[in-house]
């Protein structure tokens, strides 16, 4: 009920637009250009620059040597990213509160004040026009994991806001070159690691990413690119998300679907490992009785693994089909565990035949 009351505080249409891509892909440049185009349409728009909002100490891992683990950086930034969304949420509820930040807030207050001022004091709009003018938040961050973007989607859905994503695709060499020309470049190793982990919007897999476009920013942005972004935001403003009233049954269905997908992928991968082990055994002329024992033990191990994996996924309340970012990693972890079991079984049987 409280959420419904809070949602009612948002009077004008509003949109959360996620700008994602590698460092130096051109997100900030696109954001600045979009601000100008938004002003021409009479929108109140602001850039939410995560690099400015999140305190410097949270980025200390950037100073590490090349090869730094992005998972550690992701964990360090999580609370700070959530704080940014909390500030956006508070503004939606209390737009006239300029300097007040949520308690225990972990973002730069001065940087947030600049974001808010652009919305409260838009140029070329009088007070009455400003109150009715659409709100556009351009969230500028790498957003390399879908889970990071999904948090923004959840906020948009909670308040029936528009939601869209712009993925800036730029070749690695150009990103590295642009980054090195910056006054405070991040380590090249961080970009190289991010390339391995970056998961671009995938509407085919994630239905919530339907309102997404890709821009190739290896070269300069064109007028057509900006027009595409503005049309996307306009469409999102006109088609806000609807809050889910009772999603219990849907979550159960999503969890079951996701668990089945993970178990299927793990099953296929484990079958390939078993085939490889049997082929190696034949090449080493393992006797038939030992071959049968090897096949039996490997299949029993696989069955146990898949059963336990399915039970674990069905009991994990946060693992839903909408938020299936970790599917690949879960499968990889399970298959890695089975690979260790396979090697142990294989060598035990090989040694027993001697």
Cα→Cα distances 243→2, 246, 330, Å: 14, 9, 29
Q: What average pLDDT score do residues 150-168 get?
A: 95
| Percentages of the chain per state (helix, strand, coil), in multiples of 5 | 60, 10, 30
Lowest mean pLDDT among 90-104, 224-238, 279-293: 90-104
**What CATH class is the domain 2-238?**
alpha beta
What pLDDT is stored for residue 61 in this prediction? 43
Q: Please tell me what DSSP assigns to residue 62.
A: G
The 10 Å Cβ neighbour count of residue 170 is 20
DSSP string, 165-209: EEEEE--HHHHHHHHHTSSSPPPHHHHHHHHHH-----TTT-GGG
Q: Please tell me what DSSP assigns to residue 94.
A: -
Tens digits of per-residue pLDDT, 198-216?
A: 899 999 989 899 999 999 9
Instruction: State the pTM of this model.
Output: 0.65
The 10 Å Cβ neighbour count of residue 30 is 23
Q: Is the pLDDT of residue 139 over 50?
A: yes
Average pLDDT, the chain: 81
Q: Please tell me what DSSP assigns to residue 60.
A: G
Q: Is the pLDDT of residue 8 over 50?
A: no
Residue 75 binned pLDDT confidence (cut-offs 50, 70, 90): low
Half-sphere exposure of 177 (CA within 13 A, CB side): 7
Domain positions in the chain are 2-238, 248-352
Residue 126 binned pLDDT confidence (cut-offs 50, 70, 90): low
What pLDDT is stored for residue 105 in this prediction? 60
What pLDDT is stored for residue 283 in this prediction? 87
The 10 Å Cβ neighbour count of residue 321 is 20
Tens digits of per-residue pLDDT, 98-117?
A: 555 555 567 788 888 888 88
Tens digits of per-residue pLDDT, 217-232?
A: 998 889 999 999 999 9
Tens digits of per-residue pLDDT, 31-61?
A: 999 999 999 998 999 999 998 888 765 554 4
Lowest mean pLDDT among 28-42, 102-116, 143-157, 277-291: 102-116
């Amino acid at each position: 009920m409280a959420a419904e009351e809070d949602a009612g505080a948002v009077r004008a249409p509003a949109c959360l637009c996620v700008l994602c891509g590698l460092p130096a892909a051109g997100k900030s440049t696109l954001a600045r250009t979009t601000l100008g185009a938004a002003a021409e349409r009479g929108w109140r728009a602001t850039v939410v620059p995560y690099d400015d909002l999140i305190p410097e100490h949270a980025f200390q891992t950037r100073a590490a040597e090349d090869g730094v683990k992005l998972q550690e950086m992701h964990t360090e930034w999580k609370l700070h990213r959530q704080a940014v969304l909390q500030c956006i949420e508070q503004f939606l509820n209390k737009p006239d509160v300029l300097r007040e930040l949520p308690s225990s807030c972990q973002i730069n207050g001065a940087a947030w004040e600049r974001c808010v001022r652009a919305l409260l004091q838009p140029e070329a709009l009088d007070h009455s026009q400003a109150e009715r003018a659409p709100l556009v938040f351009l969230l500028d961050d790498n957003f390399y994991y879908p889970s990071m973007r999904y948090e923004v989607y959840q906020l948009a859905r909670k308040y029936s806001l528009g939601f869209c994503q712009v993925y800036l695709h730029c070749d690695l060499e150009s990103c590295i070159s642009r980054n090195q020309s910056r006054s405070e470049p991040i380590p090249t190793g961080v970009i190289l690691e991010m390339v391995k982990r970056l998961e671009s919007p995938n509407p085919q897999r994630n239905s919530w990413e339907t309102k997404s476009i890709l821009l190739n920013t290896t070269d300069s942005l064109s007028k057509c690119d900006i027009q595409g972004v503005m049309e996307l935001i306009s469409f999102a403003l006109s088609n806000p998300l609807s809050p889910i009233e009772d999603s219990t049954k849907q979550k159960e269905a999503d969890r079951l679907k996701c668990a089945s997908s993970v178990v299927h992928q793990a099953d296929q991968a484990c079958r390939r490992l078993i085939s490889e082990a049997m082929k190696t055994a034949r090449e080493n002329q393992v006797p038939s009785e030992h071959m049968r024992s090897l096949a039996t033990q490997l299949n029993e191990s696989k069955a146990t693994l898949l059963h336990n994996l399915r039970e674990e996924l069905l009991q994990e309340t946060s693992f839903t089909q909408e938020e299936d970012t970790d599917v690949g990693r879960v499968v990889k972890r399970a298959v890695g565990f089975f690979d260790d079991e396979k090697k142990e079984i294989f060598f035990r049987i090989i040694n027993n035949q001697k």
